[in-house]
Structure 1
Amino acid sequence: MAQQTTSADVVIVGSGIVGSLMAEKLALSGLSVMILEGGPRIDRNQVVARFRHETNKSDFMAPYPYNDWAPEPRKDNGYFQQEGPVPYSASYIRGVGGTSWHWAGMAWRYLPNDFQLQSKYGVGRDWPFSYDDLEPFYYEAEVKMGVSGPLNNGSPRTKPFPMEPVTPSWAHQRVRDRLAPLGFEVTTNTSARNSRNYDGRPACCGNNNCMPVCPIDAQYHGGISAQAAERAGAKIITEAVVYKIEHGADDKIQAVHYYTPNKESHRVTGKIFVLAANAIETPKLMLMSTSDKFANGIGNSNDMVGRNLCDHPRTKVSFDVDEEIWPGRGPVSEYSIQSERDGDWRGEEAAFRIDFSNSNPVAGVTSKLISQGVYGKDLIAGIRQQSSVTLGLKNIVEQLSDPNNRVMLGDRRDSLGIPNPKFYFSVDDYTRRGNARARRVFQEIAEGLGGTNIKFMDENKFSLANHITGTLGMGNNRATTVCNGEGRSHDHENLFLAGTGVLPTVATVNSTLTAVAVGLRTAEFIMEDLA
């Protein structure tokens, strides 16, 4: 027997870091808030134990539970369908707290010029509001998440970071000191990682497995956000796979419908609805929710839902430094170079940030040596020598919006009969030129560190960063965007969109902090509506 219809002032689909922090803010204002999460609750201790015993430590999804009634992309599981020409790959977690369970904690702000890309450089899209409009919400997000970083990172601040950066590792110090005379300023990354006890959580102790999970919660994640939302009074219903959005004659959203794992259907009504699943699952849900009036899906009268998919189609290099720097101590992503994030050349080729990998290379080095037939004492010596000098770099490169790059409904279905996502994805010459320039900068850096055994990634291949943006893009032009600057759907006045999908541009940094800031700003408009 189906349960009785439930209701709340605000119904949020998705318990990730954005949806949960919005829920906390809304609940603290006195509103009743219900979060519908398709996946189960996640126990950090169980994830840590699984990771400890996992043989493939590079598979960041392996420690997390998989459910066929709330599927997610796993290696070779066929959840994503591809139409080419570039395969679109991403990994995300469907469970309480969402994908930031296995992120690297990077919490960068955009630059002011990132908000006016079209008006300043003649490419891409402008935002419907400015950096200054978002700045107080950036700070609100940083306080919630416990963000630290250097002040001189190009993003203006009205208040200092909540805490000082984590102490730099030896590799960070040596790379910084050696590259400085060559004109490269190596800076500590801004990150949601405790450098001291903060918000009841301990300081980072350098476990170096921030991805796939911080074993001590020194690194912030959406699971912590979800706990905060529940403490504030929000209710989370887990294993609730939303499959339909229902509107009324006035086009306002009246309810959402969800399945339990055994396909029992439930209906939830509310005054305001927020879609905060992620930049793939949210447009998929909107495209599924068709009606006589909205034949292409909820919020999709202009056929823009799912379009303008962007990521960071980055390139990489690895080489051996001419001294022992011992990467793998401290956070996995610790330091970077910012000088290529903005400039007049941006009208012709993509900007980028250069990120140094601080992941422990021992597993990869060991596998390579064994495949070469090295054993015994030679293997031990080889592991020690190679893992002490190996260094990897990647660029976080800008991609321009293209409506042809999109999320669509696939023709395969999961155990509940819900379609999987299908993609068309390409990489234009603007981004390719940015990657070409990055390879030239990589060469200078490698030479400055006495690099040998330099190995560049194939220039015709791309390593996507899992920074999914654009599919729900906000803007003032109703013909080309999905929601306005408040996050409000152009088609439905009580439907709000949140998460990385609403970001009009991908810029040169990880998208999480900006998505949280925009979500907290959207929460203000929701509170005004219900005041």
Structure 2
Amino acid sequence: MNASFSADVVVIGSGICGSLAAQKLAKAGASVLILEAGPRVTRGQLTARFRESPRKSDFLSPYPNSNLAPFPEYKPHDNGYLVQGGPVPYLAEYIRVVGGTTWHWAAQAWRLLPNDFRIKSLYGVGRDWPISYDDLEPFYCEAEKIMGVSGPVNNGSPRSEPFPMKPVAPSWLEQKFTERLGDVYPVITNTTARNSRSYDGRPACCGNNNCMPICPIDAQFHGGLAADKAENAGVRLITEAVAYKIEHDSKGRINAVYFYDWNKTSHKVVGKTFIIAANAIETPKLLFLSASSAFPNGLANKSGALGRTLMDHPSNSATFEVEDAVWAGRGPMSPSSIQKLRDGAFRSEHAAFRIDISNSSRVSSITRSAISKGLQGKELQEEIRRRSAHEVSIKNVLEQLPDPNNRVMLSDKKDGLGIPQPLIYYSYDDYVCRGMAASKKAYGEIADLMGAKSVTYSPDGKYGNNQHITGTLAMGDDPATSVCDKYGRAHDHENLFFASTGVMPTVATVNSTLTAASLALRTAHFIRENV
């Protein structure tokens, strides 16, 4: 097959990491081509689909899914895309469209803490990163400027430059929590890629309270905007292009990638440098699919570490009625959090965590609950009003240590293009369970300070996840125990790089997007200066 396309740099995946890396390299003069498995979507289309959807609590309902480039869905039923190997189901959610999953994120853009990079050295658990906080700090600043990040100055992560803007004004709920919890559990306005003023041609947040599944006015940054920036810089973006094989030469250098279009026609793309910017499930899937006689266990897998140490942020939660009327539902869905348990000597014994305070409107769920109890008329009205004013929910974002038994492999089940679907093995260890117990104790103390009643805890042992899909491509200095080096370059292939949450060796206690985007910009900087 003759090459259909060529570029200096070929990027697989148009999400926030791939698009930011592509833009940076294009601005440096490289020809750059992005392959995106999914279709192109617009904010207008997605907002209309959300308005028309009967499933308002289903954050994936506005996004078009296709069996030719499927992604996991669980409502109204599980589409079976992720094949579960157990012992615990890992119900990850992500989207395959231009711009990727950050179309429907909460826009939390926290930095890691300096100690997060060396938890093995400090606490004897997990693994250390091959880089320090200081190595990444300039790229955190670069990503924050592109994304338009706002936040409070004193949040535990040192800064060399100020935030591009001040935090979004606190919601009424955040103000009441801040007053009540005081110095016992200090409340911090979340660091977010959400405008508190007009920035980069986008308006300030106006409090729509449906940041997920989509901000209807683009007040928060997302991968669709990153993809636009890449194309404006000269990047060519091919949609509905499903990569299914990566080809290498006799020296292990990557020389081509093959993709199917949605008419099931195969195409070949040649290049000098290749960046896989899919997520931590889709990237190992592609590398396993590309196994060859020289690399029988998949590309970038001489170590056997490919696909291993899958991590997320397991969560439990508490729901209760607080004494003050807080009226959740005005302003961002996740406006503030409690940070005091993100780090400390206790990490040698149990997982660290952050506590998120939800500001999502409770009206819909409360109404369903009240109707199910048989309430009608005035009694129903009063119940909805009372509970909507006073009911709140809090949850943890809990650190999970890298476990090689948590992994992504290939299943026997195939999608509409005949490509094997991912097989997931996942579980929790005692470190997580002890962290959950510590979280539950903190919830009780917070509820007491809020003058709460009717406290309900999520079931013990049944934890949610936060769709922060991390690991499986862990960076490290030792090629025998890691997949890529500190710049995201595959140990086994000198011209193959990863721009993904997958390269993170540990997951820490904050949403992974900002760190992954910063690492992607660092990788692009390395390629620009050295390749």
Normalising TM by the smaller chain, what interval? over 0.9
Q: Post-superposition shift, 1:51?
A: 0.8
State how far apart, in whole Å, the 2-side matches of 1:289 and 1:377 are.
63
Corresponding residue number in structure 1 for 2:64: 65
Q: Post-superposition shift, 1:433?
A: 0.5
State how far apart, in whole Å, the 2-side matches of 1:295 and 1:189 are.
45
Amino acid at match of 1:325: V
Q: Does 1:170 align with 2:172?
A: yes
Corresponding residue number in structure 1 for 2:293: 292
The runs of at least 4 aligned residues of structure 1 exceeding 3 Å deviation read: none
State how far apart, in whole Å, the 2-side matches of 1:7 and 1:332 are.
43
Secondary structure of the 1:110 match is: coil
Q: Could you tell me whether the CA contact under 8 Å between 2:70 and 2:415 is conserved in 1?
A: yes
Amino acid at match of 2:517: V
Q: Could you tell me whether the CA contact under 8 Å between 2:205 and 2:219 is conserved in 1?
A: yes
Corresponding residue number in structure 1 for 2:398: 397
Q: Deviations over 1:418-474 (max 9, x none)?
A: 011111101000111111000000000001111111010111101111111111110
Corresponding residue number in structure 1 for 2:281: 280
Amino acid at match of 1:45: G
Corresponding residue number in structure 2 for 1:258: 259
Secondary structure of the 2:320 match is: strand
State how far apart, in whole Å, the 2-side matches of 1:85 and 1:250 are.
40
Corresponding residue number in structure 1 for 2:147: 145
Amino acid at match of 1:318: T
Q: What does residue range 152-301 of structure 1 map to in structure 2 within 5 Å?
A: 152-180=154-182, 183-301=184-302
Corresponding residue number in structure 1 for 2:432: 431
Secondary structure of the 1:463 match is: coil
State how far apart, in whole Å, the 2-side matches of 1:334 and 1:160 are.
20
State how far apart, in whole Å, the 2-side matches of 1:120 and 1:416 are.
47
Q: Does 1:131 align with 2:133?
A: yes
Secondary structure of the 1:358 match is: coil
Corresponding residue number in structure 1 for 2:366: 365
State how far apart, in whole Å, the 2-side matches of 1:17 and 1:289 are.
24
Q: Does 1:82 align with 2:84?
A: yes
* Residues 130/49 of structure 1: CA separation in 2 closer, same or farther (3 Å cut): same
Secondary structure of the 1:319 match is: strand
Amino acid at match of 1:468: I
Corresponding residue number in structure 2 for 1:344: 345
Secondary structure of the 1:333 match is: coil
Q: Does 1:122 align with 2:121?
A: no
Q: Deviations over 1:464-506 (max 9, x none)?
A: 1111111111001111110000100000000001110100100
Amino acid at match of 1:320: E
State how far apart, in whole Å, the 1-side matches of 2:165 and 2:465 are.
31
Secondary structure of the 1:521 match is: helix
Q: Could you tell me whether the CA contact under 8 Å between 2:98 and 2:239 is conserved in 1?
A: yes
State how far apart, in whole Å, the 2-side matches of 1:492 and 1:53 are.
47
Corresponding residue number in structure 1 for 2:28: 29
State how far apart, in whole Å, the 2-side matches of 1:136 and 1:302 are.
31
Q: Post-superposition shift, 1:3?
A: 7.6
State how far apart, in whole Å, the 2-side matches of 1:219 and 1:376 are.
39
Q: Does 1:512 align with 2:518?
A: no
Secondary structure of the 1:313 match is: coil
State how far apart, in whole Å, the 2-side matches of 1:323 and 1:350 are.
32
State how far apart, in whole Å, the 2-side matches of 1:480 and 1:363 are.
48
State how far apart, in whole Å, the 2-side matches of 1:168 and 1:506 are.
28
Amino acid at match of 1:253: I
State how far apart, in whole Å, the 1-side matches of 2:115 and 2:200 are.
33
State how far apart, in whole Å, the 2-side matches of 1:301 and 1:416 are.
28
State how far apart, in whole Å, the 2-side matches of 1:213 and 1:129 are.
34
Q: Does 1:54 align with 2:53?
A: yes
Q: Could you tell me whether the CA contact under 8 Å between 2:3 and 2:270 is conserved in 1?
A: no
Q: Could you tell me whether the CA contact under 8 Å between 2:302 and 2:480 is conserved in 1?
A: no
State how far apart, in whole Å, the 2-side matches of 1:4 and 1:89 are.
38
User: Number of matched residues?
Assistant: 528
Amino acid at match of 2:93: S
State how far apart, in whole Å, the 2-side matches of 1:30 and 1:375 are.
66
Secondary structure of the 2:409 match is: strand
Amino acid at match of 1:26: L
| C-alpha RMSD over aligned residues | 0.9
Amino acid at match of 1:324: A
State how far apart, in whole Å, the 1-side matches of 2:481 and 2:319 are.
40
State how far apart, in whole Å, the 1-side matches of 2:391 and 2:28 are.
51
Q: Could you tell me whether the CA contact under 8 Å between 2:176 and 2:324 is conserved in 1?
A: no
Secondary structure of the 2:335 match is: strand
Secondary structure of the 1:160 match is: coil
TM-score (norm 2): 0.98
Q: Deviations over 1:174-227 (max 9, x none)?
A: 11011105x111010000000000000000000000000000000110000000
Q: Deviations over 1:56-76 (max 9, x none)?
A: 111100011111100000111
Amino acid at match of 2:33: M
Secondary structure of the 2:408 match is: strand
Q: Structure 2: 5+ residue runs without aligned partners?
A: none
Amino acid at match of 2:197: R
Q: Post-superposition shift, 1:377?
A: 2.2
Amino acid at match of 2:126: G
Q: Deviations over 1:227-277 (max 9, x none)?
A: 000000001000000000000001000000000112100000000000001
Q: Post-superposition shift, 1:5?
A: 2.3
Amino acid at match of 1:371: S
State how far apart, in whole Å, the 1-side matches of 2:334 and 2:480 are.
39
Secondary structure of the 1:77 match is: coil
Q: Deviations over 1:376-408 (max 9, x none)?
A: 222222111111111100011000001110001
Amino acid at match of 2:371: I
Corresponding residue number in structure 1 for 2:100: 98
